[in-house]
Amino acid sequence: MTNQTLLSTHGLRKSYGKRDAKFEALRGINLEIKQGESVAIVGKSGSGKSTLMHLLALLDRPTKGEIHLNGENTSKLRQRKLNHLRNKEFGFVFQSFFMNANDSVLNNVILPLKIDGVGRRERKQRAMHALKIVGLETKAKNKAKDLSGGQKQRVCIARAIVNNPKVIFADEPTGNLDSATGAKIEDILFNLNQEHGITLIVVTHDQELADKCQRQIHIADGHVASDKEGALIEDDKATREIEVYEEEPDEEEGDEEYHEDDDDDEENEEIIDRFLDDENADSDGDGFIDNNTQPHITHVKSKGSK
């Protein structure tokens, strides 16, 4: 995998409410996520995992602190670019699904493509393909509200991957699934991560899923309680454990850079080439993707969609 830092946070704080009702959900988070990594965020209920995910995916703004994306401070990003990121670079699986209940399953999956302005035929093909990946192509015409909990979750995953994102944020993606279906979803996610270098950030209570990730970040009371390399991934890197229980939020821990790996292996080169060939990658010409060597998920795209 690449060694480039994708996301880093610096003294990230988020508080809700005012005065007496004020509650600090995040109290100074410093972490760094590299491109192509798979990261599990674990922690007790109410510890701030979802809040952190929303901030990382740039859906919400921190009360204090900074989030850097590819080294750029995101608080300075223009709305246009934020929209572009949300639509094309990030895929988000919300903890409580969030679907248009009265709309069809297909239309729910199509939504990001529709917002992107993809033509009718192509977006239908791509959405069907994404549904096939999660095993729901037969439910395309059903109303979203008529699905079971697990099926809804899979629709949300289809929606998150339909736009070929470079980062997938998944908040409890297997929370409502039996172990067999859950394992299938895990396969999909890790396939995207390993075969196509997509960065995967998952919130989960499922230790098995967490263990499959390269890293596990433990959140407790709005702090990073521990941040360690996953045990099950055979890697030449040593398992590190960083205690970052600090009181000073503004003190930046993320300065530490991860430069120790990585000889540019052949696979990586190939991915970069594939990315550079892709003209769609920087459609709005804001230059963002040009200095970002994220690969593209080619298997999600159906044939002839281009």
Q: Interface with Mg ion includes 95 (CB under 5 A)?
A: yes
Residue 274 burial by Cβ neighbours in a 10 Å radius (0-12, 13-18, 19+): middle
Residue 229 burial by Cβ neighbours in a 10 Å radius (0-12, 13-18, 19+): middle
Enumerate residues 218-237 that contact ligand ATP by CB under 6 A.
none
Q: What residues form DSSP beta bridges with 218?
A: 42, 226
Per partner kind, with CB cut-offs from 5 to 8 A, the member of ligand ATP, Mg ion, another protein, none near residue 25 is ligand ATP
Residue 23 Cβ vs another protein, minimum distance, rounded to whole Å: 14
Q: Interface with ligand ATP includes 47 (CB under 6 A)?
A: yes
Number of H helices, E strands in the chain: 8, 10
Enumerate residues 94-123 that contact ligand ATP by CB under 6 A.
95
Cis peptide before 171, with omega less than 30 degrees from 0?
no
Residue 23 Cβ vs Mg ion, minimum distance, rounded to whole Å: 15
Centre a 10 Å sphere on the Cβ of residue 53 and count the other Cβ atoms it contains: 23
Q: Interface with ligand ATP includes 51 (CB under 6 A)?
A: yes
Q: Interface with another protein includes 45 (CB under 8 A)?
A: no
Centre a 10 Å sphere on the Cβ of residue 243 and count the other Cβ atoms it contains: 9
> For residues 171 and 253, which CB has a smaller minimum distance to Mg ion in the complex?
171
The distance from CA 203 to its chain's CA centroid, rounded to whole angstroms, is 10
Q: Interface with another protein includes 179 (CB under 8 A)?
A: no
* Contact pattern from residue 34 through residue 53 relative to Mg ion, giving x for each residue in contact according to CB under 5 A and a dash for the rest: ----------------x---
Per partner kind, with CB cut-offs from 5 to 8 A, the member of Mg ion, ligand ATP, another protein, none near residue 85 is another protein
Report yes or no: 274 and 22 within 8 Å, Cβ to Cβ: no
The residue type of 212 is: K
* Positions that interact with another protein (CB under 8 A): 54, 59-60, 79-80, 83-88, 92, 94, 98-100, 102, 111-112, 114-117, 119, 159
The contact set with ligand ATP (CB under 6 A) reads: 16-17, 23, 25, 43, 45-51, 95
